[in-house]
Structure 1
Amino acid sequence: MRSNPELHYLDNAATTMVDPAVADAIAAALRSCWANPSSLYEPAVQVHETLSAARAKVAKSLGCAPKELYFTACGSESNNIAIQGAAIPRRSWGSKIVVSGFEHPSVQLPVRALRDRGFEVVEIPPESDGHLDLDRLSAAVDKNTVLACCMAVNNETGAKQDIAAFSAAVKARNDRCFVHVDAVQAWLRLPIHLKALPCVDSLSVSGHKVHAPKGIGALYLRENQRQNHRPPCLGGHQERGIRPGTENVPYAVGLGVAAEQGARTLPARSAHIRALNDRLRAGLAELPGVTLNSPADAVPEVLNFSTNCVNSQTMIEYLSARRVYVSGGSACDKGEPSHTLMAMGCPDLAVRTAIRASFCADNTPEDVDALLAGLRDGLAELQHI
């Protein structure tokens, strides 16, 4: 996929390169799928069938029924549709929302906006290892709780949460409470079988994290919840009214290809990426003062660490000059200090010097070695500036 071996891209949690097979499928669909899938004449019917085939591919990768899968523009839109659409109609019987304290901004900010509209919001911070205390979380749910949210994989540390246990604990306390899961960083990195997760009511995914383009995502909404859902945007009957607006059929086709390929290659990719993660962990252990922020059982695609001596942005710029590309955390935070690491109780110095490396199957041992060499030189040079 990568055409230039001298470019060491290790920021795949921010975005991934578009797979050539995905790009080819989109290009073909742009030429052939020109009709509006909601129209009734033959070319439109064919486009509708193409859209349905793409939906089935994405649904299969998530282990849900195609009718429970809705195309959106991105994971952020999926999160907003789920959160606002669930909370508002339940206001008649409850007003409490329970959410983990290190969610992506597309969950955190809509929930806080609901707080400004009178909802009570309880944020449960993670433990120092990045995991949630499920007993503490479930204890916050009561008969007044209308919504509970938890991300499956943290976008900054790669920490995995036990979504099955989380959702079951919530439903045990209040079976009317709507459970939403942000799975943007988990999809096609971990197996997801929604039919085996009966307590999860909605789940969001995004295309550009899995080698599809930016501008396409999907929302799973359990069929028995659809009638109770009030989408925040109104318009036509597209996507069964959950996400109005003419569908982006070519990108949906691309998402289907990415889902199909990602599901098929998941075991082999995971083994390859685990080896890269282990190589980086071993190399970091030899650098004085460096500490790991990602837990040992995090997904191998993400490794967060702190140099504890050089500001994140300074080190990122130094590495970038060597064509090694990493980040300081979530791209959506635009360089702001990591709210995830702060929620975990990391020392201020660790937060200010944090680096996130994130892998895909296209990465190589040479990428890891280039990062380690850059860190080694950077630590030697930048500490004395």
Structure 2
Amino acid sequence: MALELDLWWLLLFPAFFALGWLAARVDMRSVLKQAKEVPAGFFRGLDALVEEDSGAAVKALAEVARQQPAVQELPLTLGKLYRKRGENDRAIRLHQRMLESTDLPSEQRDAVRFELAQDFRKAGLVDRAEEILLKLLSGNMGRSARRQLLDIYQQDRDWEKAIATAKELRSDAHSYQHEVAQYHCELAQGELYKSNYPEARRHVTEALAANRKCVRASLILGDIEFAEGRLEEAIAAWQGIEKQNFEYLSMAAERLFDAYEKLGKPSEGIALLRGYQKTFPQLELTDLLYQKVATYEGEARALEAAREAVHARPSLNGVYRLIESQMDGLTPEGRADAEVIRTLVSKHAQRLTVHRCKCCNFRSRAFFWHCPACGEWESFTPNRSEIH
């Protein structure tokens, strides 16, 4: 019996191998057949995309789209290429033709409408883009549509709508609390300009409720308190930035000194600035401290403060102040030489000293709460750095 079973196994093994070989041949033939059915223009377009030649890619894929009208994904890709190349009119016409087609499956219509909304937005027709996106909110493209709407509301500075949309976008992956706090700060700043202090205070409270570490909210709160004459409360609000993010103390420094000065306590203000500079040498305080010390304690003490700052954190602006503070003690010839050096240092400081976005490394001489390059909030370095 055992012998018969072994013989059967010996007969079955070749059959198994033959079936495996046959299956592999069938699969390979199927793959080769499918590959031959793909138009050559598709591969030319793919190769052009790899080579970053969008013009050749558009031409090749447009040819394939004409040959294969039943493939709906290809016109979508082609429309994106048109939009990327700035050919917004062609992208709009393409997507509109797709929507007019009776062959377009209903489940793909929202995807085409979403692309059309992006076409309109890129072409500057924001109202038409918003109109389409609002109609997509209840469908399968709802989340993507809300993200686009949030960008539009930020661009249009419609902060109330931005707040409402960000709250609808909240998820475990992204709470949008950071952004909501900034939108409330924008509203608070606007009300502060109009001297509407109660409404400005309300938005600051909302900002801190959304993000208790929002430095900008503390800066505005201090401004409100200062404007209403509550100087001690203003000082407390600005000093609270040390616990939120000490790097932004440089933006509150002059405000703090002005409050102490108004209280008749300039020496306490100078002492606070000196303390910040020693504790946080990376803060950009050299110019401010030099000016205030020179005014209240004399040039000699100001020179000492400038020297300490430059030794703790060498910078072009610090060197400029150091040269300036010692010019009076030089001979006429030495003063002329120092003036040349000071002018050269000043020019280089203006050219090389910039604020930088920590997310995308965008550089600017002006400070922004909202990076104009990547759109991130509160990502700019408050203290300028020198380009190397």
Please classify the TM superposition score into its range, dividing by the shorter chain length: under 0.3
By relative contact order (CA 8 Å, sep 6+), the higher-ranking structure is: 1
Higher radius of gyration, 1 or 2: 2
The structure with the largest strand share of the pair is 1
Could you state the TM-score of these two structures normalised by the residue count of structure 1?
Answer: 0.21
The structure with the largest helix share of the pair is 2
